[in-house]
């Protein structure tokens, strides 16, 4: 039976490092003026995703998310990795939304896998439960913050997040938390919005970061990960608006 645990949020709305997103810089003689914008707080973000949760299936369809995630998942070789895990691979999807990334991975894997997923939005978890079950998945769902994952160190074979880290005041802190729960040799897989016209619109509406390929690669190296790879991701008619990155925790 699908488990939906809502106790895990705990202190996850605790204060985060207050990094703001630089928007524009202007020089006036010896003066330099930087205008930056704060990201939404975890609580505000959860409320906003609660409000759009029933429309998220349409968003996922419009941007063909299931298909969009398949190509970089195949390029990352994560599927080959998972087929080698006995008896069952443990997979964690952070900021699951309605489950597009897990559903994409499940459609590519042949062997049995144990899917776990978290989200700060309770309503998104309700959507995830129904959409993932409909796709034949039986996930363990928990309301939690990617910056404070309620799991033991080194407890997953794959840890992934799609279109989540760009929302956070300190994306690298979330990545460090994802790496904490990843076993040595396991793979982290992330997909984030890149700088583009579409990215600027998302940034305006959702106060997100637009993350360059160089930044993503630098984050993975800074987390001591190896075998770093990346690929542009096409979100339907919006075009190549995102980048997927993957890397392995050293053995
Ligand atoms: C753009 S949606 C992406 C959903 C899904 N991963 C996908 O690709 O369709 C972002 C999701 O991240 C969740 N989220 C935002 N901040 C989070 C956080 N700090 N921890 C966990 N989930 C978060 C939101 O509630 C939302 O479901």
Give the pLDDT of the chain (251 residues) as one tens digit per residue.
344 454 444 433 333 445 788 888 899 999 999 888 888 888 999 999 999 999 999 999 999 999 999 999 999 999 888 888 888 999 999 999 999 999 999 999 877 899 999 999 999 999 999 999 999 999 999 999 999 999 999 999 999 999 999 999 899 999 999 999 999 999 999 999 999 999 888 888 888 989 999 999 999 999 999 999 999 999 998 999 999 999 999 99
Nearest CA to ligand 1 atom 1: 163
Q: Where are the alpha helices (DSSP H) in 12-97?
A: 42-52, 56-62, 65-76, 78-83
Q: Which atom of ligand 1 is nearest to the CA of 53?
A: 27
DSSP structure class, residue 16 = -
Look-up: residue for tokens 């769902």? Answer: 141
From 43, 54, 119, 201, the mutation candidate for ligand 1 (largest count of ligand atoms within 8 A of CB) is 119
3-state SS record for 27-47:
EECCEEEEEEEECCCHHHHHH
Distance, in Å, from the CA atom of 83 to the CA atom of 93, rounded to the nearest integer, reads 18
* Cβ proximity of 118 and 141 under 8 Å: yes
Check if 167 has its Cβ closer than 6 Å to any atom of ligand 1.
yes
pLDDT at position 8 is: 44
Which of 143, 164, 243 to probe ligand 1 with, by most ligand atoms within 8 A of CB? 164
Q: Is 119 in the pocket of ligand 1 (CB under 6 A)?
A: yes
Which protein residue has the closest C-alpha to ligand 1 atom 24? 95
Asked whether 173 and 17 are in contact (CB, 8 A), the reply is yes
Contact 47, 208 (CB under 8 A): no
Atom of ligand 1 minimally distant from the CA of 59: 9
Dist. CA 98 → ligand 1 center (Å): 9
With a 6 Å cutoff on the Cβ, whether 124 touches ligand 1 is yes
Residue among 163, 159, 166 at smallest CA distance from 180: 159
Q: What CATH class has 3-9+40-248?
A: alpha beta
Please give the structure tokens belonging to residue 86.
């006995």
Per-residue confidence (pLDDT) for residue 1, from 0 to 100: 36
Tokens linked to 230: 């990346």
Dist. CA 47–CA 49, nearest whole Å: 5
CA–CA gap between residue 102 and residue 15 (Å, rounded): 29
Helix (H) or strand (E) holding 21: strand 20-28
pLDDT at site 13: 38
Distance 95 CA to ligand 1 centre (A): 3
């Amino acid at each position: 039976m699908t488990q939906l645990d809502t106790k895990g949020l705990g202190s996850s709305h605790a204060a985060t490092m207050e990094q703001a997103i630089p928007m524009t810089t202007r020089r006036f003689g010896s003066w330099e003026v930087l205008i930056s914008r704060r990201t939404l707080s975890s609580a505000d973000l959860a409320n906003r995703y609660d409000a759009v949760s029933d429309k998220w299936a349409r968003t996922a369809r419009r941007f063909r998310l299931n298909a969009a995630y398949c190509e970089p998942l195949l390029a990352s070789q994560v599927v080959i990795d998972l087929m080698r895990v006995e008896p069952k691979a443990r997979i964690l999807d952070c900021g699951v939304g309605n489950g597009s990334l897990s559903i994409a991975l499940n459609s590519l894997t042949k062997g049995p896998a144990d899917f776990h997923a978290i989200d700060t939005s309770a309503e998104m978890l309700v959507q995830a439960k129904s959409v993932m079950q409909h796709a034949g998945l039986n996930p363990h769902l928990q309301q939690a913050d990617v910056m404070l994952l309620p799991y033991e160190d080194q407890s997953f074979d794959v840890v992934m997040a799609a279109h989540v880290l760009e929302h956070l005041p300190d994306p690298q802190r979330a990545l460090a938390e994802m790496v904490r729960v990843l076993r040595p040799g396991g793979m982290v897989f992330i997909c984030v919005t890149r700088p583009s016209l579409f990215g600027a619109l998302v940034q305006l509406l959702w106060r997100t970061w637009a993350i360059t390929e160089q930044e993503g690669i630098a984050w993975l190296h800074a987390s001591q990960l190896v075998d770093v790879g990346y690929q542009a991701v096409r979100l339907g008619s919006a075009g190549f608006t995102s980048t997927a990155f993957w890397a392995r925790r050293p053995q």
